[in-house]
Chain A
Amino acid sequence: MSIGLDRRVVRNLDPYLLASTLLLCLFGLVMVYSTTRYGLHPLVFVRSQMLHFVVGAVIAGAILAVDYRSFASGARMLYIANVILLAAVLVAGRSSLGAQRWIPLGPLGQFQPSEFAKLAIVITLARHLTDRPGPYTSVRDLLPFLAHISIPMILIFRQPDLGTALVYGAIFAGMLYAGGARRRDLALLGLAGAAVTPLLWHILKAYQRRRLLSFLDPSLDPLGSGYGIIQSKIAVGSGMLWGKGLFAGTQNVLQFVPEHHTDFIFSVVGEELGFVGCVVLLALFYLWLVRGVRAATVARDRFGALVAVGIVSMVAFHVFVNVGMTVGIMPITGIPLPFISYGGSALMTMVWAAALLLNVGMRRQKILF
Chain B
Amino acid sequence: MERDVFERRLATLVVLAAVMFVVLVIRLWQVQVVQGDYYLKLSEENRLRVTTVLAPRGALLDRHGRTLVANRPAFTVALLPLELRHPRAEAQVVGKLIGMDPAEILSRLAAGRDRPFEPVRLRRDVPKEIVAAIEEGQLDLPGVLVEVEPVRQYVYRTLGAQVFGYVGEINEDELKRLRAAGYEPGDLIGKEGVEETYDAYIRGRNGQIQAEVDAQGRMVRTLGTVPAVPGNEVVLGLDLAMQQVAEEGLGDRPGVVIAMDPRDGTILAMVSHPAFDPNVFSGGIKAGVWNGLIKDPARPLLDRAIQGAYPPGSVFKVVTASAAVQMGLVKADTGFYSPGYYNLGGWTFHEWKALGHVNFIDAIAQSCDACFYDLSRRAGPNAVAKFARTYGLGERTGVDLPNEGDGVVPDPAWKKRVWKQDWYGGDTLNMGIGQGYVLTTPLQIARMMAAVANGGTLVTPHVVTEIRTLDGRVVARIAPPPGGHIQVTPQTLDVVRTGLAAVVSRGTGTALQMPGFTAAGKTGTAEASHGKPYAWFAAYAPVDAPKLVVVAMVENAGFGAENALPVVKQVFQAWLAEQNGAVPAKPAAAAPPQTQTAGPRPAAAPAPASAPSGGSPSAPAPKPAQIPAAGPEPAVLPGPRETSGQ
Contacts and interface: CB of A to CB of B under 8 A. Distances in A.
Contacts of B471: none
Contact of A133 (B1, B16, B33, B115): B1
A327 B29 CA distance: 10
Contacts of A219: 224
A238 B27 contact: no
B208 to A, nearest CB: 5
B44 interface: yes
Contact of B3 (A39, A285, A296, A369): A369
Interface in A297-316: 297, 305, 309, 312-313, 316
Nearest to A296: B10
A238 B21 contact: no
Given A178-B6, A180-B1, A223-B224, A238 B13 contact: no
Interface in B16-57: 16-18, 20-21, 23-25, 27-29, 31-33, 35-40, 42-44, 47-48, 50
A247 interface: no
Contacts of B136: none
A23 to B, nearest CB: 17
B29 A222 contact: no
A239 B13 contact: no
Interface in B107-139: 113-117
B210 interface: yes
Given A133-B1, A279-B25, A316 B17 contact: yes
B38 to A, nearest CB: 7
Given A256-B48, A297-B7, A239 B20 contact: no
B226 interface: yes
A235 B115 contact: no
Interface residues of A, number: 58
Contact of B36 (A239, A256, A290): A239
Contact of A255 (B35, B44, B116): B116
A177 B16 CA distance: 12
Nearest to B29: A275
A320 B32 contact: no
A367 to B, nearest CB: 7
A215 B631 CA distance: 39
A369 B226 CA distance: 61
A256 B2 CA distance: 53
Interface stretch (A3-11, A65-73, A225-233, A352-360): A225-233
B32 A309 contact: no
A63 interface: no
Given A223-B50, A223-B224, A282 B24 contact: yes
B14 interface: yes
A293 B10 CA distance: 7
A293 B1 CA distance: 18
A169 to B, nearest CB: 15
B82 interface: yes
Given A293-B10, A309-B10, A327-B27, A278 B32 contact: yes
B209 to A, nearest CB: 8
Contacts of A237: 31-32, 35-36, 38-40, 42-43
Interface string A61-85: 0000000000000000000000000
A285 B163 CA distance: 64
Contacts of B9: 177-178, 180
A234 B32 contact: no
User: From DSSP, what is the main secondary structure of chain A's interface residues?
Assistant: helix
A369 B13 contact: no
A286 interface: yes
Contacts of B1: 133-135, 179-180, 369
Contact of A174 (B13, B18, B32, B224): B13
Contacts of A255: 114-117
Interface string A233-259: 111111111000000001100111000
A36 to B, nearest CB: 12
Contacts of A328: 31
A49 B37 CA distance: 34
A250 B44 contact: yes
B607 interface: no
Contacts of A361: none
B39 A234 contact: yes
Contacts of A290: 14, 17
Nearest to B115: A255
Contacts of A278: 25, 28, 32
A198 B114 CA distance: 37
A223 B226 contact: yes
The interface centre, meaning the residue of A178, A237, A323 with most chain B CB atoms within 10 A of its CB, is A237
Scoring B10, B28, B33 by chain A CB atoms within 10 A of each residue's CB, the highest score goes to B28
Contacts of B82: 254
A329 B36 contact: no
Nearest to A250: B43
A160 interface: no
Nearest to B2: A369
A236 B6 contact: no
A133 B17 CA distance: 25
A163 interface: no
A235 B39 CA distance: 7
B43 A251 contact: yes
Interface in A27-53: 39
B287 interface: no
User: Which interface residue of B18, B23, B27, B38 has the most chain A CB atoms within 10 A?
Assistant: B27
Contacts of B33: 240-241, 275
Contacts of A316: 16-17, 20
Contacts of B47: 254, 256
Contacts of B115: 255
Contact of A238 (B16, B20, B44, B113): B44
Given A223-B208, A316-B20, A327-B27, A238 B40 contact: yes
19 contacts: A39-B113, A234-B42, A237-B42, A238-B44, A240-B32, A240-B36, A241-B32, A251-B43, A254-B47, A254-B117, A270-B31, A274-B32, A282-B25, A286-B17, A313-B13, A316-B17, A324-B24, A329-B27, A369-B1
Interface of B: 1-3, 5-7, 9-10, 12-14, 16-18, 20-21, 23-25, 27-29, 31-33, 35-40, 42-44, 47-48, 50, 82, 113-117, 180, 208, 210, 223-224, 226
Which 8 interchain pairs have the tightest Cβ spacing?
A237-B39, A240-B36, A222-B224, A238-B43, A180-B1, A275-B32, A238-B40, A320-B20
Given A241-B32, A241-B36, 11 more contacts: A234-B42, A234-B43, A236-B31, A236-B39, A240-B40, A254-B117, A255-B114, A255-B116, A316-B17, A324-B23, A327-B27
